[in-house]
């Protein structure tokens, strides 16, 4: 039953499992919608009305740092978060920004030895663009 938060070996800083952190992780885990910080804030608020948006941001940062959740930094848009960690890729609706999972995506080859003048390439990812069902049906949604 040991806590995950007892000690960070690197920094020596003791991390605490606060109610807020617990609820944020719980609620994110219940979602498949890849919410933004603010969207998750609205949800968490229902269980904990006084929580602040800053706390949500801070904990999402922390959890991403710990590798417990993943940041989805999709091109030119707001940051989104995902508690599902199995390797997969993402599509984004170019109309509304909704993000979906792609499990049968393109497999990228090893990229570490690529010859790119001026850069040492360390990684790569594929981003898909698309239209979500909702936007496809309602042909003029934002």
Partner DNA sequence: AACTTATTAGTAATAATTATCTGTGTTAAC
Partner DNA sequence: GTTAACACAGATAATTATTACTAATAAGTT
Binding segment for its own copies among 5-13, 34-42, 43-51, 91-99 (CB under 8 A)?
Answer: 91-99
Tokens of 88: 């997969």
The answer to whether 108 and 124 have CB atoms below 8 angstroms apart is yes
- The reply to whether 79 sits near its own copies by the rule CB under 8 A is yes
- The reply to whether 129 sits near DNA by the rule CB under 7 A is no
Residues in the chain: 142
| 56-95: contacts with DNA (CB under 7 A) | 57-59, 61-62, 78-79
Task: Give CA–CA dist 133/136, Å, rounded.
Answer: 5
CB of 62 or CB of 128, closer to DNA = 62
- The reply to whether 116 sits near its own copies by the rule CB under 8 A is yes
Query: Contact with its own copies (CB under 8 A): which of 1, 76, 86, 140?
Result: 76
The answer to whether 40 and 24 have CB atoms below 8 angstroms apart is yes
Tokens of 97: 């920004």
Strands 80-82 and 70-72: antiparallel
Query: Contact with its own copies (CB under 8 A): which of 117, 137, 140, 142?
Result: 117
Helix (H) or strand (E) holding 90: strand 89-93
Kindly list the residues in this chain that would bind its own copies in the complex (CB under 8 A): 71, 73-77, 79, 91, 93-94, 100-102, 104-106, 108-109, 111, 114-133, 136
């Amino acid at each position: 039953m040991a806590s995950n938060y007892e000690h960070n070996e690197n920094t020596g800083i003791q991390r605490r499992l606060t109610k807020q952190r617990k609820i944020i992780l719980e609620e994110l885990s219940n979602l498949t919608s890849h919410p933004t910080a603010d969207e998750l804030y609205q949800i968490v608020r229902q269980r904990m009305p006084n929580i602040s948006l800053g706390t949500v941001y801070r904990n999402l940062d922390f959890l991403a740092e710990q590798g417990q959740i993943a940041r989805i930094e999709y091109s030119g848009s707001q940051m989104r978060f995902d508690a599902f960690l199995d390797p997969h890729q993402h599509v984004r609706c170019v109309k509304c920004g909704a993000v979906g999972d792609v499990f049968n995506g393109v497999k990228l080859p090893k990229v570490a030895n690529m010859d790119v003048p001026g850069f040492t390439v360390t990684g790569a990812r594929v981003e898909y663009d698309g239209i979500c069902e909702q936007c496809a049906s309602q042909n003029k949604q934002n």
